[in-house]
Amino acid sequence: MALRRFDLEAGGTDFSFAPETEDKIAFWLGKYPSEKKRSAVIPLLWLAQKDNAGWLSEPAMRAVADRLEMPYIRVYEVATFYTMFRLRPVGRHHIQLCGTTPCMLRGAHDLKEVCRDRIGEPFAITDDARLSWEEVECLGACVNAPMVQINDYYYEDLTPERFASVLDQLRNGVDVAPGTFVDRQRSAPLGGATSLLDAGLFDGSRLAQAHLPNLPEPVTDTAQPAAPARTTLIDVQPGPPPERVETASERVDDLRKIKGIGPKAVTQLQALGIYQFAQIAAWSPADVSRIEAALSGAGRVGREDWIAQARLLVQANKEA
């Protein structure tokens, strides 16, 4: 990694954010408390870079620092740490060429040669100021290797020829659609799917009883019609069913307010007739073990202290 320094000459002395960027700045600043607004330094630097023709000039960096009331040196540290902030001018279309292992194995070296041929050395800008390039580390599109990122978009499954034609088109002012350059849907296999082809996989017809080989055979009650066996690793002790409590719908508490109870547990609890905090608050140890058995979560009620939580919520409801 070469030394990264501001191009002070090209940066001039002034920078101002585009008017339409202000909304985005407000969005990012809105995410943090006002006394911690320096947390927004990376998004703001990014926005400044976008407003400054794809590179971060020194005045742009100072504008960010002034907005966030940060010492310049602190912003300077961030701007020089992250190589996604480019401190020198770039072409209108800046190419980030992935040179990490998968892309390298799939021919990134050849793409680099194309760049050298068509543009020049990394960070050189073509005479018409349209193109520049740099090599970057993995962009996370290894399935579609080799690939490049041009400004904000990925151009994938490139060959030297295809890439050269992309560069030529961009250079001639023709926009090129991003995405893959071969016959595939996004990252799907070339020429279409090669596995999971059976339509039955997707129509529900395969929903059948799962049979795990090491589980004991389920005891089927011949008097009852065979229900789909539940496969669970916890031995469920079927206890006496809880008393059912009939409740008016408006008396149903939002049980999820209790930490530990999620949507699934709510459904299960309601199936057991538990609708209100008051019911949980009144659980005896026997109730607890019965409920835990039904929820397949031994010790969960005590660990997450549902009863105490429920009592507080009952209290809160009364006060409200």
Partner 1 sequence: MSNDQFKLNIDGRDIDVPRHYTLMQACEAAGAEIPRFCYHERLSVAGNCRMCLVEWQGAPKPIASCAQTVGEMRPNPDGTAPVIRTQGDYVEKARSGVMEFLLINHPLDCPICDQGGECDLQDQAVAYGRSGSRYDLNKRAVEDKNMGPLVKTIMTRCIQCTRCVRFAAEVAGVEELGMISRGESAEITTYLEHSLTSELSGNVIDLCPVGALTSKPYAYNARPWELRKTTSIDVMDAMGSAIRVDAKGNAVMRILPTVNEEVNEEWLSDKSRFVWDGLARQRLDTPYVRRDGRLSPASWGEAFVAVKDALSGRPEAIGFIAGDLVEVEQAKAGLDLARRLAVQNTDCRPAGAAYGVDGPREQYLLNSSFMAVEEADALILIGCNPRQDAAVWNARIRKAWLWNDLKVHLIGDPVDLTYDYDHLGTGPEGLAALDTLSGASRPMIVVGEDVLLRPDGQAILAAAHAAALNIGAIQDGWAGFGVLHNAAGRVGALDVGFVPGPGGLDTAGMLSGKLDTLVLMGGDELDLSGLGTTKVIYIGHHGDAGAARADIILPCAAYTEMSATYVNTEGRVQMTRAAVEPKGEAREGWAIFRAMSDSLGHTLPYDTADALREGLRAERPHFAGLGFAPAEAGVEALRAPMAGTGTPDLAVPFGARRGDFYLTNPIARASKTMAECSLQHRGLETAVAAE
User: Which residues of the shown chain bind partner 1 in the complex (CB under 8 A)?
Assistant: 1-4, 6, 8, 58, 71-74, 76-77, 80-81
Tell me the closest approach of the beta carbon of residue 4 to partner 1, in angstroms: 6
User: What contacts 163, CB < 8 A, 6 or more positions away?
Assistant: 111, 114, 148, 155
Tell me the closest approach of the beta carbon of residue 38 to partner 1, in angstroms: 11
Query: In 3D, which of 25, 165, 145 has the Cα closest to residue 97?
Result: 145
Instruction: Outline where 34-95 has alpha helix (H).
Output: 41-51, 58-68, 72-81
Judged by beta carbon, residue 35 or residue 203, the one nearer partner 1 is 35
**Cα–Cα distances in Å, from 281 out to 92, 270, 271?**
66, 15, 18
Judged by beta carbon, residue 72 or residue 154, the one nearer partner 1 is 72
SS3 148: strand
Tell me the closest approach of the beta carbon of residue 148 to partner 1, in angstroms: 23
**Cα–Cα distances in Å, from 280 out to 23, 32, 264?**
47, 38, 16
Tell me the closest approach of the beta carbon of residue 242 to partner 1, in angstroms: 42
Tell me the closest approach of the beta carbon of residue 103 to partner 1, in angstroms: 22
The residue type of 119 is: I
- Residue 171 in contact with residue 127, Cβ under 8 Å? no
Judged by beta carbon, residue 74 or residue 211, the one nearer partner 1 is 74
Strand partners, 154: 149
Tell me the closest approach of the beta carbon of residue 189 to partner 1, in angstroms: 38
Tell me the closest approach of the beta carbon of residue 33 to partner 1, in angstroms: 17
Judged by beta carbon, residue 2 or residue 223, the one nearer partner 1 is 2
The residue type of 13 is: T
- Residue 173 in contact with residue 165, Cβ under 8 Å? no
Q: Write out the two tokens for 192.
A: 């279409």
Judged by beta carbon, residue 2 or residue 26, the one nearer partner 1 is 2
Helix (H) or strand (E) holding 133, with range, is strand 131-136
Tell me the closest approach of the beta carbon of residue 73 to partner 1, in angstroms: 4
Judged by beta carbon, residue 2 or residue 174, the one nearer partner 1 is 2
Question: What is the total residue count of the chain?
Answer: 320
Judged by beta carbon, residue 77 or residue 254, the one nearer partner 1 is 77
Separation between Cα atoms, residue 294 and residue 242, nearest integer Å: 10
Judged by beta carbon, residue 11 or residue 146, the one nearer partner 1 is 11
Q: E-strand spans in the chain? A: 93-98, 131-136, 148-150, 153-156, 179-180
Judged by beta carbon, residue 76 or residue 154, the one nearer partner 1 is 76
CA angle 31, 36, 42 (to 5 degrees): 65
Residue 307: CB atoms within 10 A of its CB come to 20
Tell me the closest approach of the beta carbon of residue 145 to partner 1, in angstroms: 25
The residue type of 266 is: V
